[in-house]
A and B are shown apart, each in its own frame.
Chain A
Amino acid sequence: MTRSTKRAVRDAALGAFWLWFGVRLLNDWFGGVIVPEGQPFFDPQPVADAATALRETAAGLGVLGTPLGWLANGIGSLSFAMTYLPDLAAGAWLTVVLTVLATIFGLMLAVPLAAARVYGRVTHWVALGFIELIRGTPLLAQLFVLYFALPLSRWFAAVPYVGTGIVPAQAVWVAVVGFTINSAAYQAEYIRGSIEGIDPGQLTAARSIGLSRIQGIRHVVLPQALRLAIPSWTNELVYLTKYSSLAAFITVGELFHAARAAAYQNYRFLDLFLLAAVVYLALVLSATTTMEWVRRRVAIPGVGGSGGGRMSTE
């Protein structure tokens, strides 16, 4: 396949996913506009019946029926997905909320942390201590401390609208805080690396025309460092999408939690986790595709790998 064909296939698949995801969420948020909340858009029963019928035909054909049996299994999986995907939609939404908010807030913390790490004196040690503490302890332990040991969730519960309508409940906000702190530490290291990749002569030149150190960092170093950091920063988005499943352990009903809850009903754990994995894949591909688009949008000749296509998203 050529590059553009691959891209078209990927875009079509992601487009289909987001069309379903968007319609699904709107339908459920507004109390079942098209179909009742949580019900499939199309009845999976005829598909399941077709799979059963095909399987019986295949069994009658003996060895020759094997390929037909595979087809029957595929159609059976489709009816399974049609039945249970609605249960995963709300969870996938929380996964998106957690990941996007934590990445953005994490970036806001990471930029000053990275700058302090490179340019600070006292702040260098503060930033270093924070980064090593957070990177050196398990994310799950951090979430437990925030959720069970600190009164964070009580504070969030007292905020108006939390847990009502489409505003997520307090546990989600505690998870956002946890992932923000964790992600900030990792993002700070990515950004530190790219700050150190900028020729210090540019900061000297900025100082030589009368810009203060802070202005030089703000207007000369960071615009370049952040562009350089985009590929590794995309990695962080990918990791976080999947690590956000740890929020399930502090009662957040995200994608993994939703798949597990559905599996407790029918004991088809493997099937549901595979279905969740497909949804994770769609989310991760969406993230990398978006970031590749951003990278191209902000590319400047001579700054980072702006020649195009250095970071593969296929």
Chain B
Amino acid sequence: MTDELLDVDDVHQSYGEEKVLEGISFEMDSQDVKVLVGPSGSGKSTMLRCINRLTDIDDGDIRLDGESIYAMDENDLRRQVGMVFQDFNLFAHLSALENVTLGLKRVRGMGEKAAVEKAAWQLEAVGLREQANSYPAELSGGQQQRVGIARALAMDPKLMLFDEPTSALDPELIGEVLEVMRELAEEGMTMLVVTHEMGFARQAATDVLFLEDGKLVEQGPPNQLFENPERDRTRDFLGRLTSLHGSQ
């Protein structure tokens, strides 16, 4: 048994005949920030969804704190693993504050007052104190995504999964979300991030994982992967990504 926070062990996954993940293994220590990159269809999002059991795997195992996630109650697992979505997926009928309090009240069983206090603090941490009572439709994309981050963080997760958190944003709104994520990384949150933002990967990642066709092609610290990749395929892909998304 290992003492890693997250241990992804030879995971296979398929949708019907189509194989999506073909034997992925990696580990994450506490406070690691790993960035998953790869062409579309390479299985990055599926990999994230396997970790909080939004998608089931065919073979292999995933362990959180040494315990197989399949031995855990799925709602309990999800409370410990926060997730941030590409399309924000905010609850449209709830204010920013209520988006955060819903889980606190219904999952963690907090009282109204304690939940509101914690949610307000969490929103302030992502710079949205003023917008607490706004509805999602009244917020910009960047603000919505920050509410999404606050909603996940409020559950005090051990691990945060980010599924292309800036891909649906207008370019000028990407920075505010990346800034929040960078601060989060500095505070020591363990994060697994699917993103094309190479600037973020260079600055904040402890490791970059390059996925292609359901296989983990190469992994290593950002400097090594960006400067001296072992494979030409990695160099090509990262080079193109950097020229497209490297500005941040």
* Real binding pair: yes
Contact residues in A for B85 (Cβ distance below 8 Å): 201, 204-205, 208
A204-B54, A204-B85 are known contacts. Are A302 and B135 too (CB-CB below 8 A)?
yes
Q: How many residues of A contact B (CB 8 A)?
A: 22
Contact residues in B for A302 (Cβ distance below 8 Å): 92, 135-138
**CB–CB B91/A205 < 8 A:** yes
**CB–CB B155/A202 < 8 A:** no
The tally of CB-CB contacts under 8 A between chains A and B is: 78
Min Cβ gap A143→B in Å is 38
Min Cβ gap A229→B in Å is 13
Question: In this assembly, does A209 line the interface, its C-beta being within 8 Å of a C-beta of chain B?
Answer: yes
A190-222 interface bits toward B, Cβ cutoff 8 Å, 1 = contact, 0 = none: 000000000101101111111110010001100
Contact residues in B for A206 (Cβ distance below 8 Å): 91, 102
Contact residues in A for B82 (Cβ distance below 8 Å): 208-209
A215-B106, A219-B102, A302-B92 are known contacts. Are A208 and B75 too (CB-CB below 8 A)?
no
**CB–CB B107/A209 < 8 A:** yes
Q: A301 is contacted by which of B54, B89, B135 (Cβ under 8 Å)?
A: B135
Question: In this assembly, does B198 line the interface, its C-beta being within 8 Å of a C-beta of chain A?
Answer: no
**CB–CB A208/B78 < 8 A:** yes
**CB–CB A211/B89 < 8 A:** no
**CB–CB B89/A204 < 8 A:** yes
Contact residues in A for B155 (Cβ distance below 8 Å): 209-210
Report the bound CA distance from A224 to B152 in whole Å: 21
Report the bound CA distance from A199 to B54 in whole Å: 16
Min Cβ gap A296→B in Å is 15
Most chain B beta-carbon neighbours within 10 Å: one of A205, A209, A220: A209
Contact residues in B for A108 (Cβ distance below 8 Å): none
Question: In this assembly, does A295 line the interface, its C-beta being within 8 Å of a C-beta of chain B?
Answer: no
Question: In this assembly, does B79 line the interface, its C-beta being within 8 Å of a C-beta of chain A?
Answer: yes
Contact residues in B for A220 (Cβ distance below 8 Å): 91, 93, 102
**CB–CB B54/A300 < 8 A:** no
Min Cβ gap B65→A in Å is 16
Most chain A beta-carbon neighbours within 10 Å: one of B87, B93, B136: B93
Min Cβ gap A38→B in Å is 49
**CB–CB A208/B107 < 8 A:** no
Min Cβ gap B163→A in Å is 10
Contact residues in B for A215 (Cβ distance below 8 Å): 106
Min Cβ gap A201→B in Å is 4
Question: In this assembly, does B33 line the interface, its C-beta being within 8 Å of a C-beta of chain A?
Answer: no
Report the bound CA distance from A206 to B135 in whole Å: 17
Most chain A beta-carbon neighbours within 10 Å: one of B76, B92, B148: B92
A220-B91, A223-B93 are known contacts. Are A210 and B137 too (CB-CB below 8 A)?
no
Question: In this assembly, does A260 line the interface, its C-beta being within 8 Å of a C-beta of chain B?
Answer: no
Contact residues in B for A204 (Cβ distance below 8 Å): 54, 85, 89
Residue in A closest to B148 when the chains form the complex, CB atoms? A205
**CB–CB B78/A207 < 8 A:** yes
**CB–CB A210/B93 < 8 A:** no
**CB–CB B52/A303 < 8 A:** no
A204-B85, A300-B135, A301-B138 are known contacts. Are A209 and B92 too (CB-CB below 8 A)?
no
Contact residues in A for B138 (Cβ distance below 8 Å): 301-302
Min Cβ gap B150→A in Å is 11
- Can you offer 24 A-B residue contacts whose CB atoms are under 8 A? A199-B92, A201-B87, A201-B89, A202-B89, A202-B90, A202-B91, A204-B54, A204-B89, A205-B83, A208-B52, A208-B85, A209-B78, A209-B107, A210-B79, A210-B107, A215-B106, A219-B106, A224-B92, A227-B93, A300-B93, A302-B136, A302-B137, A302-B138, A303-B135
On B, residues with C-beta under 8 Å from A are: 52, 54, 75-76, 78-79, 82-83, 85, 87, 89-93, 102-103, 106-107, 135-138, 148, 151-152, 155
Known: A208-B54, A208-B83, A210-B75. 10 other contacts (CB 8 A): A202-B92, A207-B78, A210-B78, A210-B79, A219-B102, A220-B91, A301-B137, A302-B135, A303-B92, A303-B93
